[in-house]
Structure 1
Amino acid sequence: MVDWVRLRLDVDAFDEREFEPCADQARESGVRFASLAELGDTEAHRRALYELNKECSADIPERGEFHTYDEYVARRLDVPTFDPAGVILALRDGEWIGMSATSLHPADGSAFSEMTGVRAPYRGRRLSLALKLHAIRFVRAAGHRWLVAYHHPRNAAAIAMNRRLGFADFEP
């Protein structure tokens, strides 16, 4: 059994100024950011999101077999916590190259970072940080205080990125 690393960010206390250059740098290199709500929550976009999520998830330690498309829609999209505005996409020349998906949980005022990932050829450009910054803005605009993320303990890059943003260990 995996002993997950549980991290939480106090969105109200988060100061984004240090991380804004990541988003600026991405835009200067031709990357733009848009939510699934802005692009349209269509069947074609859901399939593209599924393929991107599947590809980016392949690097998660002990991930196992990824959901089928129908399972993905049932577990991630056709649920009350899904908001297409919480799916932030990084696009370059029309290609979806990265994503950050965040679900909202109004009962406890939290949000959950479902997945943040970037396609392998585009890694190392601080796009994950920029995507997470957009996700934090989404959570703040939705009026939620906490953004929670769970990581496999061997997913060192994701854990380090979240800790750099100010996420701290917590027990639910």
Structure 2
Amino acid sequence: MVDWVRLELDVDQFDDAAFEPYLERAQESGITFTTLAELGDTAEHRRALYDLNRTCSADIPERGEFYTYDEYVAQRIEVPSFETAGVVLALHGGRWVGMSGTSLHPDKGHAFSEMTGVLAPYRGQGLSLALKLLAIRFVRSSGYRRPATFHHPRNASAIAMNRRLGFVDRLGR
């Protein structure tokens, strides 16, 4: 049985300015940022999101089989917690190269960082930090204070990235 690393962030204590340079650097290198809300929730965009999420998820330890497209839509998109504004996308020359998806759970009183992923050729440039900065801003603007996430304990890069942003262990919840 896997003992997942459960993390959360206090957005009131989060220092946006410390991570703004990652956003600026990405934009200077030709990356543009948008959301699924801005692009439109179309069948074509849902398929592109699925493809990007599936590709990025392949690196998660013990991930197992990824959803089929129909399962993905039913379990991740056509659910009350899905927010098109919570799907932040990084594009390079129109190609979707990174994503950070955040769902809102008013019944539980928190936001949940579903997935942040960047295609392999774009890694190591701080793009995931830029995406998470925008995701945290979405959480804050939505009135939530404590986004949560969890990771397989061997997913060291994702855990380190979240800890760098200020996520701390979420105990007893």
Please report the TM-score for the alignment, with normalisation by the length of structure 1.
0.99
Residue ranges of structure 2 left out of the alignment (5+ in a row): none
Q: How far, CA to CA, are the matches of 1:145 and 1:109 in structure 2? A: 9
What RMSD in Å do the two structures reach over aligned CA positions? Answer: 0.6
Written as runs of structure 1 = structure 2, the 5 A alignment for 1:3-152 is: 3-152=3-152
Q: How far, CA to CA, are the matches of 2:53 and 2:93 in structure 1? A: 19
Q: Deviations over 1:51-103 (max 9, x none)?
A: 00000000000000000000000110000000000000000000000000000
Deviates more, 1:150-159 or 1:105-114: 105-114
Q: Secondary structure of 1:80's match?
A: coil
Q: Percent identity?
A: 70
Residue ranges of structure 1 left out of the alignment (5+ in a row): none
Does 2:166 align with 1:166? yes
Q: How far, CA to CA, are the matches of 1:71 and 1:11 in structure 2? A: 32
Q: How far, CA to CA, are the matches of 1:39 and 1:55 in structure 2? A: 21
Q: Secondary structure of 2:9's match?
A: strand
Q: How far, CA to CA, are the matches of 1:66 and 1:81 in structure 2? A: 20
Deviation at 1:132, TM superposition (A): 0.3
Letter paired with 1:78:
E
Q: Secondary structure of 2:147's match?
A: strand
**Structure 1: 4+ residue segments shifted above 3 A:** none
Aligned residues: 172
Deviation at 1:107, TM superposition (A): 2.2
Q: How far, CA to CA, are the matches of 1:51 and 1:169 in structure 2? A: 30
